A and B are shown apart, each in its own frame.
Chain A
Amino acid sequence: MGMSAADAVEDPQPAETASPSAPPAAEPERKIATRDLNLYYGPTHAVRDVNFWATPGDITAIIGPSGCGKSTLLRSLNRINDVIPGFRMEGAILLDGEDLLAPGVDVINLRRRMGMLFQRPNPFPASIYDNVAYGLRLAGRVPRSVADGIVESSLKRVALWDEVKDRLGGSGLGLSGGQQQRLCLARALAVEPDVILMDEPCSALDPIATLRIEELLHELRGSVTMVIVTHNLQQATRVSDRTAFMLVGEGRVGELVEMGPTVELFSNPRDRRTEDYITGRFG
């Protein structure tokens, strides 16, 4: 479980496992973790020496001002940023202890284990049914009855089933923005990922649609490990168990300033810069 990862950010004795009922293990479990991760776009150093992790079944938020590299960090976790020409990674990314940057890693397979939600809902120009079944069918032919069941259960998990069950053959693009984002979440859930990465998933949604997504994230807690990048500090406090704060540091390179339980980070930040940011005294 990547326990040996150097941890320059949190306390050597993390506070979050200090409750009396906690097992004697000193550190929290890590579903996904980075070790001294450095990210580059061509000659530009975008993110420096990040040791980030997410605890299993929890929601971990990444906050920070624009340009601090939080989206880049998130998008490196499932190696979707690989498609950007010139993008480079150094260090390690551990999923269940396995280094995703090691040579010979099956990127296709690891992406199947990590779903992703994007800033703008991006349903495919296909029917609602085909959108949800897309991931299943990538691995090969799926019997209709099996696909039917998974499509239904996935749409029910995102509370979209009742709204669309009579028009599963209709275009996914015909739904409202909030419905589209829930469709995309159902599409990701259909392949039973261990982790879901979310890149400001509510930034294009109205407040009501945003709340519905947040409710869904609460319901998924425990069964899926979630990492959410958000601009919205209230959203981080509402949905997340743990929060990581990133900032543009020396040489305009993004850094992870501190990470910890959300309640603690917002009520009692250890770093002055974190305090300045969350209290709006940034600058």
Chain B
Amino acid sequence: MNRRARVTDRAAVLIIRTLGVILVALLAWIIVFLIVNGWQELHRLGFYTQAPNIGGPGSGVGPQLFNTFYVLVLSMLLTVPVALLAGIFFAEYAGTGALTNAVRRATETLATLPSIIVGLFGFALFVEATHSHPSRLAAALALLVINLPYGIRITEDSLRALPDNLREGSLALGATRWQTVTRVLLPAALPGLITGVILMAGRAFGEAAAILFTGSAGAITAAGNYSLSPFLAGDTLAVDLYEFRTQAEPGTVTDARQYADGVAALLILLVLTFNVSARLIGRVAVRRLQGG
């Protein structure tokens, strides 16, 4: 019996380890594959600075790169405060009333919406109903619809995971509930909140379907410009990637494939860089706030 338990234990550890190694290897393979394929574009400075010039020499993704960050920052500025406040409300203030349960269920349903639906919905609401045209603002709002349920959920879960005696310790010193939230609970929940921001940013980087309808200029050659106006359209890298692999007709655009490979490689490098730097900044912030 004892021997059998030991064998089972070893087998389980072996299987878990193997799966872990396979997973890491797969991820590494994808990253290496993308970078190797995109290298021809990646190592060319003009790729980052020039505007798209399909078929011609010296084409780049400068405007799309700018737009990607523009939409990312705009959507985060809109989403993070709302997600924080709603998450705080659910975790610290809302009771178990029928209304709060309904709102909670609604946000959870929102999380399961396919992003193409959010795109169409965003088009109907932010573009058609306002008699305007696709814009970075509409794209950021569509991303808000996609990210808000996650943001709320992560905020609520991070706060709920904190021990009650932190709350009581603060209240017992004469803190108000809001002081307790802002001075004790949010700093204590910071690591979880940072993970939430990273996940939401990942969606903003990678989302194509929702932005296609709400923020895209709609043509490969009209990828937008460096204007700071939120009311102008602009392709992000992910939208760009989609357009290149679907709209560029074979033969007519000779370097479309190579161009798309470059965009894919750039996108994954951006996501990786963002994740690592967000974690590093988060670690410094945690040390600042929590002592170390």
Interface of A with B (CB < 8 Å)?
78, 80, 83, 85, 108-109, 111-112, 114-116, 118-120, 122-130, 134-135, 138-139, 169-174, 184, 187-188, 191
Contacts and interface: CB of A to CB of B under 8 A. Distances in A.
Interface in B75-107: 95-96
Interface string B177-196: 00100011001100000000
Contact of B290 (A120, A126, A191): A126
A170 B163 contact: no
B189 to A, nearest CB: 9
B188 to A, nearest CB: 5
Interface stretch (B109-117, B166-174, B240-248): B166-174
B291 A170 contact: yes
B79 to A, nearest CB: 26
B214 to A, nearest CB: 40
Nearest to A123: B169
Contact of A134 (B168, B176, B183, B290): B183
A105 B235 CA distance: 58
Contacts of B96: 85
Contact of B291 (A128, A134, A135, A187): A128
A172 B291 contact: yes
Contact of A135 (B95, B163, B166, B174): B174
Contacts of B184: 124, 126, 134
B198 to A, nearest CB: 20
Given A108-B176, A112-B174, A122 B168 contact: yes
Given A124-B188, A125-B166, A188-B173, 7 more contacts: A85-B96, A111-B174, A119-B165, A122-B168, A126-B184, A127-B290, A134-B183
B175 interface: yes
B187 A125 contact: yes
A123 B173 CA distance: 12
Contact of A124 (B95, B170, B171): B170
A246 to B, nearest CB: 21
B289 interface: yes
A113 B211 CA distance: 56
A187 B171 contact: no
Contacts of A114: 172
A172 B165 CA distance: 15
A180 B166 CA distance: 13
Contacts of A124: 166, 169-170, 184, 187-188
Given A127-B291, A170-B292, A111 B171 contact: yes
